[in-house]
Amino acid sequence: MMNNVRDYIRTIADFPHEGIMFRDVTTLFADARGFRMAIDQLLHPYAGIPIDKVVGLEARGFILGGALAHQLSTGFVPIRKKGKLPGTVISEAYQLEYGEAVMEVHDDALKPGERVLIIDDLLATGGTAEAGIKLCRRLGAQVIGCAFVIDLPELGGRTKLEQMEMPVHALTSFDGT
């Protein structure tokens, strides 16, 4: 019987590269009970805390963020990879294992003082989430926290975000990469 969110997550060995244990949340999303459990548990720490917008990080953060925004009766803002958004954007570069990537958000997506919650499926090195936090802050928003389904603590993302004084909530963690 599947009693917790972790039970719904499939592990695929050697994807996308040899030696990587890929934590696949599509199996969680595909199961109605598992998906509901994840959304409820992601929201739980923020019960009673005013949230003006949910910010989802590309791409699985869009799935989770949309569901959370619906539950909170609030708006949803996507933070996307460079070149995916029409209109005027602001950008934030961040480091990958080999090289650099850029995340973007519309320059009018958030208003100064709005309280936002950042959502994604996985916290690894924390680069994407760090870029998301910086983009939100540059627009004047107050990021109240970051929530993830999975944390890979050995990769240091939680530590990086906590050093930015960012509360981190994760439903489960896995050892290794």
pLDDT tens-digit series, residues 54-92? 999 999 999 999 999 999 999 999 999 999 999 999 999
| Per-residue model confidence (pLDDT) at position 177 | 62
In a domain, 101, yes or no: yes
Q: Can you give the CATH number for the domain in which 118 is found?
A: 3.40.50.2020
With b for 16 or more beta-carbon neighbours within 10 A and e for fewer, the 133-154 pattern comes to: bbbbeebebebbbbbbbbbbee
| Per-residue model confidence (pLDDT) at position 98 | 74
- Which one of the listed residues 60, 104, 114, 158 is annotated catalytic? 60
60 lies in which domain range? 49-173
As to burial, measured by CB atoms within 10 angstroms (0-12 exposed, 13-18 middle, 19+ buried), residue 56 is buried
| Per-residue model confidence (pLDDT) at position 1 | 78
137 in catalytic set: no
In a domain, 19, yes or no: no
| CA atoms within 13 Å, Cβ hemisphere of 134 | 16
60 in catalytic set: yes
pLDDT in tens, 20-48: 999 999 999 999 999 999 999 999 999 99
pLDDT at 12 over 90: yes
Mean pLDDT calculated for residue range 120-127 = 96
Tally of domains within the chain: 1
With a threshold of 0.85, does the pTM exceed it? yes
- Which one of the listed residues 18, 33, 97, 165 is annotated catalytic? 97
In a domain, 165, yes or no: yes
